[in-house]
Each structure stands twice: as C-alpha cells, then as structure tokens.
Amino acid sequence: MKKTLFALVAFCLLCACSGEREYINYRGLSMGMSAKAMADSLQAQGLALDTAHSNETSLVLADTLTCNFVVTIFQNNDTITDILEQYSATYNDSTTHLWQSLRDEFEKEYGWPNMPKHGDLHKEAFFENKKGTVILTLLNTYSPTVSVRYSTATTQD
C-alpha cells in the first residue's frame, strides 16, 4: 500500500514538473510562436518586411516612418532563436535616455541586471530568467545606437 501511494505521488510530481517550456515575451508576443507568425504580427503593428535583407535564417523588419528602428528575427526551421532590436539616433543624448528607460523597464520585469560594461559610451546590461535572456547594449561612439537582443537560450536550462 505504501509503495503504491509513493508511486502515485511520484507520478503526480513528474507530471507537474514536465510542463511545456515557457518563452520570453517580445512586445507582448511569445517567442514560442513561429518566426513567420511573429513577422506577420509585427507587420500588423506597422513594421515593413525588408525582403532585400531577409533570408532563410533571419527576417528583417524596419520602421518605415522614422527609419531608425530595425527588428531582426533569427530563426532555425521557423523556430525563433533570437530577436534583435536596433535603434539609431543622430545624437548621444537620445540613445542614453532610451537605454536608461529600457533598462528601468527590464529591471522591473526581470530583476537587477548583470552589467559588465558601464561607461558613458558603452553600456551593457544582461537580464536572465528561466524563460530566456535579454541583452541591452548602448554604443555611443561613431553612430549612436541602442540594441536589445531577446534570446530563448538561457544558462539556467
């Protein structure tokens, strides 16, 4: 009787722990969806597919109004591996402000970041949880840019 009860409890625990993998969200969309579905959703939000720069491993979408925002969806067999956002500006103050506001937003969602680089011209912040990794980078050198890489890979797997 004890062995049967123990086996039943062990089976229940195994079923509870073998749930479906959770994915990090990108703009409210799960990165567990297909790359094509993600691209279609972003096109519905106003981004345009750049067919000249897209290929079988990446889909590139750009903001056609301001031309300073590009999203690249990296894929492997229509499965999203990474999403890279890149913002460019004409002066450093705008990218510094954007970096700080994004960092504050990610800190609320993911907790305190690991920041190996923290200078005025180059800053990096790594946010990680069981769903994935977000890397926020500021480069205020020749062409001021802020990039955000959303990755489904994590070292906590």
The reported pLDDT for the residue numbered 89 is: 85
**The one-letter amino acid at 104:** D
Q: Which two tokens stand for residue 75?
A: 């894929």
Q: How far apart are CA 149 and CA 64, in angstroms?
A: 21
pTM across the whole model: 0.81
| Domain 23-151 architecture | 3-Layer(aba) Sandwich (3.40)
CA-angle at 27, arms to 74 and 99, nearest 5°: 90
The reported pLDDT for the residue numbered 124 is: 94
| Longest Cα separation, the chain | 74
State residue 40 phi and psi, 5-degree precision: -60, -40
Q: Per residue of the chain (157 residues), what is the pLDDT tens digit?
A: 433 334 434 444 444 444 577 899 998 999 999 999 999 999 999 999 999 999 999 999 998 777 789 999 999 999 999 999 999 987 778 888 999 999 999 999 888 898 887 777 899 999 998 889 999 999 988 889 999 999 987 655 4
The reported pLDDT for the residue numbered 11 is: 42
Domain ranges of the chain: 23-151
The reported pLDDT for the residue numbered 116 is: 82
